[in-house]
Structure 1
Amino acid sequence: MKAEAGIVLDAALFAAYEAASSPHSIRALTSDLEAFDLWCRRQGLAALPATSSQVAAYLQARAGEGAKPASLSRYKASLAKIHQLLGLADPTKAELVKLTLAAHRRGVGSAQAQARPLRFKGAVKDVARDQPHGLNVRALLEASGEDLTGLRDRALLSVAYDTGLRASELVAITVEHILEALDPEARLLEIPRSKGDQDGEGATAYLSPRSVHAITAWCKAAGITQGPLFRRVQVRRYKARGAIKPRAIETISGREAWDLGKLKGKPAVAARAEYTVGEKPLHPGAIGPIWRAMVVRAFEAGALPDLMRDDLARVLKGISAHSTRVGLNQDLFASGEDLAGIMDALRWKSPRMPLAYNRNLAAEQGAAGRLMAKLG
Structure 2
Amino acid sequence: MLVPLVTSLRTAEPVVVDAALLDAFQAAASKHTLAALRSDLSAFDLWCRQHRRITVPAGPGDVADYLRSRAGQGAKPASLARYKASIARLHQLLGLVDPTVAPMVKLTLAAIRKDKGVAQRQAAPLRFKGPVSDVERDPARGLNLRALLESCGADPVGLRDRALLSLAYDTGLRASELVAVRLADILPATDRDARLLAIPRSKGDPDGEGATAFLSPRTVRALETWLEESGITQGPVFRRVYVRRYKARPRQPGRDLATLSGREGYDWRKALPRPAVEARTEYSVGNTALHPGSIGPIWRAIIRRAFDSGALPDLTRDDLEHWLKRISGHSTRVGLNQDLFASGEDLAGIMDALRWKSPRMPLAYNRNLAAENGAAGRLMKKLG
Question: TM over 0.5: same fold?
Answer: yes
Say which of 332, 341, 346 aligns to 1:324. Answer: 332
Which structure 2 residues correspond to residues 279-318 of structure 1 after superposition, within 5 A? 279-318=287-326
Does 2:151 align with 1:132? no
Q: Give the letter for the 1:19 counterpart.
A: A
Which structure 2 residues correspond to residues 14-53 of structure 1 after superposition, within 5 A? 14-53=22-61
C-alpha displacement of 1:212: 0.8
Question: Which residue of the partner structure matches residue 343 of structure 2?
Answer: 335
C-alpha displacement of 1:258: 6.4
CA distance, structure 1, for counterparts of residue 342 and residue 137 of structure 2 = 12
Question: Which residue of the partner structure matches residue 197 of structure 1?
Answer: 205
C-alpha displacement of 1:211: 0.8
CA distance, structure 2, for counterparts of residue 341 and residue 247 of structure 1 = 73
- Partner of 1:183, secondary structure, is coil
CA distance, structure 2, for counterparts of residue 148 and residue 57 of structure 1 = 51
CA distance, structure 2, for counterparts of residue 139 and residue 63 of structure 1 = 40
Q: Give the letter for the 2:59 counterpart.
A: T
Say which of 232, 241, 265 aligns to 1:233. Answer: 241
String of CA shifts for 1:290-338, please: whole Å, max 9, x gaps.
0000000000010000001121111100000000000000000000000
Question: Which residue of the partner structure matches residue 259 of structure 2?
Answer: 253
Say which of 24, 42, 65 aligns to 1:57. Answer: 65
C-alpha displacement of 1:248: 7.9
- Partner of 1:4, secondary structure, is coil
Question: Which residue of the partner structure matches residue 164 of structure 2?
Answer: 156
CA distance, structure 2, for counterparts of residue 94 and residue 109 of structure 1 = 22
- Partner of 1:81, secondary structure, is helix
Q: Give the letter for the 1:301 counterpart.
A: S
Does 2:282 align with 1:274? yes
Does 2:96 align with 1:82? no
Does 2:368 align with 1:363? no
Q: Give the letter for the 1:290 counterpart.
A: I
C-alpha displacement of 1:266: 3.6
Q: Give the letter for the 2:312 counterpart.
A: L
C-alpha displacement of 1:254: 3.2
CA distance, structure 2, for counterparts of residue 275 and residue 136 of structure 1 = 28
CA distance, structure 2, for counterparts of residue 205 and residue 328 of structure 1 = 13
Does 2:190 align with 1:177? no
CA distance, structure 2, for counterparts of residue 178 and residue 85 of structure 1 = 40
Deviates more, 1:36-45 or 1:2-11: 2-11
String of CA shifts for 1:150-209, please: whole Å, max 9, x gaps.
111111100100000000000011101111111111111111110000111011111111
Question: Which residue of the partner structure matches residue 4 of structure 2?
Answer: none
CA distance, structure 2, for counterparts of residue 310 and residue 284 of structure 1 = 28
Does 2:344 align with 1:373? no
**Would you say the 8 A contact 2:254–2:274 is kept in 1?**
no
CA distance, structure 2, for counterparts of residue 260 and residue 254 of structure 1 = 11
Q: Give the letter for the 1:31 counterpart.
A: S
CA distance, structure 2, for counterparts of residue 180 and residue 63 of structure 1 = 50
CA distance, structure 2, for counterparts of residue 259 and residue 331 of structure 1 = 68
C-alpha displacement of 1:213: 0.8
String of CA shifts for 1:191-234, please: whole Å, max 9, x gaps.
11100001110111111111111111111111100001101111
Deviates more, 1:335-344 or 1:7-16: 7-16
C-alpha displacement of 1:91: 0.7
Question: Which residue of the partner structure matches residue 218 of structure 1?
Answer: 226
C-alpha displacement of 1:111: 0.3
Structure 1 residues not aligned, in runs of 5+ = none
Does 2:109 align with 1:101? yes
Q: TM-score, normalised by structure 1?
A: 0.96
C-alpha displacement of 1:370: 2.2
CA distance, structure 2, for counterparts of residue 22 and residue 45 of structure 1 = 30
**Would you say the 8 A contact 2:123–2:327 is kept in 1?**
yes
CA distance, structure 2, for counterparts of residue 26 and residue 102 of structure 1 = 26
Question: Which residue of the partner structure matches residue 118 of structure 2?
Answer: 110
Q: Give the letter for the 1:115 counterpart.
A: A
Over the matched positions of the two proteins, sequence identity in percent amounts to 66
Structure 2 residues not aligned, in runs of 5+ = 1-8
Q: Give the letter for the 2:236 counterpart.
A: P
C-alpha displacement of 1:276: 1.6
The alignment covers a number of residue pairs equal to 373
CA distance, structure 2, for counterparts of residue 119 and residue 310 of structure 1 = 20
